[in-house]
Structure formats: structure tokens, C-alpha cells
Amino acid sequence: MTNGCDLELINLTKKYGDALAVDRINAHFKAGQYVCLLGPSGCGKSSTLRMIAGHEDVTDGSIVLDGFDVSYLPPAKRGTAMMFQNYALFPHLSVRDNAAFSLRMKGQDKATRYAVADELLEMVDMSALADRLPSQLSGGQQQRVALARALVTKPKVLLLDEPLSALDPFLRVRMRTELKKLQRELGITFIHVTHGQDEALALGDELVVMNNAVIEQSGPARDVWSTPKTEFVARFMGGHNVITFEGEKAALRADDVRFGAEGLPATITSIEYQGAHFALNTRTQAGEDILALMPDEVFFDTPKKPGDAVSLTWDEGRLHRLQT
């Protein structure tokens, strides 16, 4: 089931005065995908999302939704909806009235707007608390109400700006499962901004990695993680070593590094137990740090300690060159 529609960003640009926050980015998101927009703080994620939502003027370029240029339409006319970082629920309105708020603004009668609001509160499992005020809810419950409120206008694209960052780690993981399930049920496009690579990998069908106002790399989550194109993406996504090989920078997955009889000589600098894995930091004679991640039973076969000399090996073809 697909209720969404294609979204295209064409040379989309945002300047605040002279400061370039988003620099001619291009992207095409197919209908019904869970897209995660990630990158370090200040790289232009929120500006991009707010332009798509219509909460920020486009400086240059355009936003095309379902074949129509929506760049200059007011937010309510775009077919998008946004869920904010700090939920921004109205404290004096009940859960039901919060959820129905946009429909009241559109002048719909009470019976109609409550019917739609109740349907969405049911979907996010908040029906039982429909008469409560936001202050009587937990963080996770407020989150669900904010979701219902954003979805009440039946958007084709839901925009979420760091929706899980205010939650404690346990709840964050639970809520991300719920978000993914909801997106599947609705079949609409979600564009979810996060600065966490774990969250992006857990949720995203497509990842868009931004850095310094541009898109460094985008594509299916697995491609971005397993084949980073640049040193920035390799380091930001984690799990990779960036090493100098034959005079060029190359990426090597930490879980592809093994200790062999012969290979690149290195010394173990530290060892960290991570449950299922051991993380072994090593330093080569050239002074490069290389991380090896190995399953606990492999580690216990031939236990190592800091200061031990090792030879680092990996299978042919596992090292891939990075663009400079």
C-alpha cells in the first residue's frame, strides 16, 4: 500500500544572510519510503526539513511533491506535516483537542474532527487517555499525541525533526520501533532528521548523509553503511577504519580486521569488552590506529592484552578506496 508520493529537492538552497546553511542539494525520494537525514549538528538538516514543510523560505531551488512545485505554498497546502523536536503540545488542550487542532483551524465541525482525531489516537494507542492534558502524560505518550496531531491532516509526507532525542535510551528504542511500524501501516513517506547513525540505520530505507550544507552521500541504508564514499561518511557512520594504503585513503570495516600469522604489524593499545564483541584498538608502525571488532569466542580462542604485538589481515577486496 502506498499513500505517499515522490518528493524531489532540486538545487535546494538556504542562506541566512550571508551564511549558507543548505547549498544546492538534490534528492529524489520515492513514495512510501522511510528516509533518514543525518549528519553532525549545524550541517543543515533542520533547515532542509523546514523548507520542505514550508516553515522556512526557500532561498533558491525548488521542492517538487507529486509533480507539483510546492516551494512557495503555505505549509497547510503542501501535503506535508511536521512533528517538532519539542512536541509543542498545547498545555491547556486535551489530548483529543490537541490531535484535532489542525482540523479546527481548517474550520471542520466538532463531530468530524473528533472522529478523525479518535481514529489516529487509536492508531498510536492513546484512545484511553484522550481526555487528559499533556502535563498528565509521560514523554512517550506526549510523543504519540504529537504524532497523531501531525497525521490528522492526512499528509503525504511526514517530517520529523529529531523526534526521539528527548526520550531516555530505553524509550527511544521502543518508540523507534513504533515509528517504523506506523510508517509501514500508513504507507506515506517519512523524512526523519537525526544526528545518530544507529537510529538512522535502524529506521531508514534510504539514508541522506549531510555535512557542511551539502549531501555527502545518499542511497539505501546498507549501501551507505557498507560502502562509504568519503572519509567523512566512513567516520560518521562508524564501524570503519580509515587507513592509508598505497598512498591513498581507504575504508576497512572493523569487523573485517583479523589477527593472522603475517600481515600489517601493529601493537594492541586497548581492549574493550562490548558483550557480544571485543573492540581491540591497535596502532601500526606508521602510527595509524586500526580498530578490530571480533566476536567474543574468537577473542577467547587466543586472548590478547594491551602491548601485545599482532599482525593485521583482512580478506582481499574488503578494503575500498575513498574519494578525496
Give the span between the Cα atoms of 137 and 141, in whole angstroms.
6
Q: Does position 102 bind ligand ADP by CB under 6 A?
A: no
Give the span between the Cα atoms of 311 and 266, in whole angstroms.
6
Q: Measuring CA to CA, which residue among 175, 68, 185 is closest to residue 119?
A: 185
Cell output for 130: 484522550
Site for ligand ADP in 10-29 (CB under 6 A): 16, 19, 21
- Whole-angstrom CA distances from 34 to 37, 130, 147, 185, 200 are 10, 28, 15, 12, 10
H helix and E strand count, the chain: 10, 17
Backbone angles phi, psi at 195, to 5 degrees: -105, 5
Sheet (strand 289-295) strand order: 289-295, 277-284, 258-273, 309-313
Q: Which does 16 bind (CB under 5 to 8 A by kind): ligand ADP, Mg ion, none?
A: ligand ADP
Residue 86 Cβ vs ligand ADP, minimum distance, rounded to whole Å: 14
Q: Does position 43 bind ligand ADP by CB under 6 A?
A: yes
Residue 240 Cβ vs Mg ion, minimum distance, rounded to whole Å: 25
Q: Does position 96 bind ligand ADP by CB under 6 A?
A: no
Q: Does position 42 bind ligand ADP by CB under 6 A?
A: yes
Give the span between the Cα atoms of 76 and 80, in whole angstroms.
7
Between residues 46 and 143, which has the closer beta carbon with respect to Mg ion?
46
Query: For Mg ion, which residue has the nearest CB?
Result: 46
Question: Please, which residues have CB within 8 angstroms of residue 70's CB and are 6 or more apart in sequence?
Answer: 54, 63, 64, 77, 78, 79, 80
Give the three-state DSSP class for 60. strand
Q: Which residues of 227-237 are buried (b: 16+ CB within 10 A; e: fewer)?
A: ebbbbbbbebb
Between residues 46 and 218, which has the closer beta carbon with respect to Mg ion?
46
Site for ligand ADP in 263-302 (CB under 6 A): none
Region of 38-46, 93-101, 168-176, 311-319 interacting with ligand ADP (CB under 6 A): 38-46
Between residues 160 and 254, which has the closer beta carbon with respect to ligand ADP?
160
Between residues 55 and 258, which has the closer beta carbon with respect to ligand ADP?
55
Between residues 46 and 230, which has the closer beta carbon with respect to Mg ion?
46
CA angle 104, 109, 114 (to 5 degrees): 75
Between residues 46 and 98, which has the closer beta carbon with respect to Mg ion?
46
Q: Which does 42 bind (CB under 5 to 8 A by kind): Mg ion, ligand ADP, none?
A: ligand ADP
Between residues 84 and 245, which has the closer beta carbon with respect to ligand ADP?
84
Q: Rule CB under 6 A: choose which of 29, 45, 145, 147 binds ligand ADP.
A: 45
The 3-state secondary structure of 171-182, one letter per residue: HHHHHHHHHHHH
Q: Does position 47 bind ligand ADP by CB under 6 A?
A: yes
Q: Which residues bind Mg ion (CB under 5 A)?
A: 46
Q: Which does 204 bind (CB under 5 to 8 A by kind): Mg ion, ligand ADP, none?
A: none
Q: Rule CB under 6 A: choose which of 7, 9, 25, 44 binds ligand ADP.
A: 44
Between residues 52 and 251, which has the closer beta carbon with respect to Mg ion?
52
- The binding site for ligand ADP (CB under 6 A) comprises 16, 19, 21, 39, 41-47
